[in-house]
Chains A and B, each alone.
Chain A
């Protein structure tokens, strides 16, 4: 019983990270109608920032706190210089962001070498509730995710900025003639999405390892989750991320880990095939 709960908790914490990744991807995909193939590398960059703080002998929690802002800043610069050219052309966007991803990945590889790096958890120890003990850091990860998701939801649905975002999403032309600067909103959205990836990467590194190719894996998972949930809504990607996260972390307990890894992709792509518009599509063409 105890081990089942611990496993459940681990699955939950892993799913939280995936939800953060997918939320960032989904926000960008819904808003600008482009798929950011550099998203996995934004995650890598976040993880690398946390790792830098560790080797500079600075508190890791500070690194994890700074990472999303660093990555959001990088995202903002990229958006203003390159990515804003891609909005009219989704294919060019796909290839262009992929190229950016390659550059980030190879730069990080050059900096950390082709090795796997371990970063200790900023909060060591366990909460003991009754006879279950849960890792403090995993609890923090789950808590932060809940805060970020509900914060984003509040921002989107209850504030005037959120209203403008929804307007730009629904009908960019009409939003522009109503005096909403869509280009600013796009820049903010992209930067926000990148920041979420950075946060996810930084929080993930203490739980797993940092290595240069980690982005590719999370990118594919993230995309499948976005498409599974449906583009254009807030709830879709979050739901898709949760499903993919639970599958990814849960299946290895049932079948051989490598097979589980592949199985997640197969299940997800079949689900997307059956429901191309996603589980929670906005039902508008």
Chain B
């Protein structure tokens, strides 16, 4: 990575290079912010309702994609079990809504985040903390095993509805307002995505993100610098779990039910597919990947009903072999994709030393 030097001479060039991703981000922000308005102008109420509901799903899944991107693209841990946190917190809020009539957003949302955080923390503590750093394959396999085991249990556990899952009959409520599918839920999901995205954007460009970038490049060396490498990884894994949990809680209420597949390898793979297709290691890539795949599935799955999953598999293969940088890699230069890191205290420290 040659672009850590944010020297003064290259300053203007970096500013110019940073435009593409920012343009993508801003245009996505504008499109998603005004989409319901736009749809209601273009289409009849029924059609626009359908598209708003569909786009809400895309927004929620974007959170899910973002969580995998954080863990793999920035944390360097291949989590093949991201759906465990997504589906796990979905199940928890669904069961609470069913048995205790809990539907207030002020309880559901924090709870889903906490469930995701706790599940991820437990798994991370088991997989990552060891005297010898765990191999990548162990992390991938361990998380995959976790997701598979959770799906098996949910399938057989009568209390969790077995094969049929749990339906969520309550709408999400904020005070007295009931949020059904539609514009209200759309803006709720949009708001969460917006703030989570901003948070991630800040995080990965902070000094914390710089350490993570170092770990991805040369874990040993960063360790010799005195960093607690495993702690950084556990934090990143846990954060990813929390975001996946948030997505799971929203998804459970939006779709109206949770089912075992939601926790298993299928959805975990879906997250991998989204992010690799969109562009791993760029936050915008995760969102682009989710939108591209979900919309393509929406439009094309009807025409190629039986072979659509095969096409998705082929797509993944093509991306992995020929386009490791994903869709974002087509638009953005390598240098911008990797990015640079803010160091706010730079000038102060230098003057202090002199």
Which A residues have a C-beta under 8 Å from some C-beta of B? Answer: 35, 82, 85, 90-92, 94-96, 98-103, 105-107, 109-110, 216-217, 220, 223-224, 227, 258, 261-262, 265-266, 269, 272-273, 276
Contacts and interface: CB of A to CB of B under 8 A. Distances in A.
A219 to B, nearest CB: 9
Interface stretch (B28-36, B240-248, B306-314): B306-314
21 contacts: A92-B321, A94-B140, A95-B320, A99-B316, A101-B313, A102-B269, A103-B310, A103-B313, A106-B309, A106-B310, A217-B148, A220-B145, A220-B148, A258-B156, A258-B157, A262-B152, A262-B153, A265-B148, A265-B149, A273-B130, A273-B142
A258 B153 contact: yes
A95 B313 contact: no
Contact of B316 (A95, A220, A227, A258): A95
Q: Which interface class (under 10, 10 to 19, 20 to 34, 35 or more) fits B?
A: 35 or more
A107 B310 contact: yes
Interface in B309-333: 309-310, 312-314, 316-317, 320-321, 324
Contacts of A217: 148
A262 B157 CA distance: 12
A168 B321 CA distance: 25
B149 A216 contact: no
Nearest to B265: A216
A272 B320 CA distance: 28
Interface string B141-182: 110110011001101110000000000000000000000000
Contacts of A96: 317, 320-321
A220 B141 contact: yes
Contacts of B307: 106, 110
Interface of B: 78, 126-127, 130, 132, 134-138, 140-142, 144-145, 148-149, 152-153, 155-157, 265, 269, 272, 276, 306-307, 309-310, 312-314, 316-317, 320-321, 324
A101 B320 CA distance: 14
Given A102-B316, A273-B130, A276-B138, A95 B265 contact: no
Contacts of B276: 95
Given A98-B269, A262-B149, 19 more contacts: A82-B317, A82-B321, A96-B317, A96-B320, A98-B316, A99-B317, A99-B320, A101-B313, A102-B310, A106-B309, A109-B309, A110-B306, A110-B310, A220-B141, A227-B141, A269-B142, A272-B138, A276-B130, A276-B138
Contact of A100 (B132, B155, B272, B313): B313
Contacts of B272: 95, 98
A179 B130 CA distance: 41
A90 B320 CA distance: 12
A261 B152 contact: yes
A261 B154 CA distance: 13
Nearest to A258: B156
A103 to B, nearest CB: 4
B9 to A, nearest CB: 35
A216 to B, nearest CB: 6
A254 to B, nearest CB: 17
A102 B265 contact: no
B132 A99 contact: no
Given A262-B149, A276-B138, A102 B78 contact: no
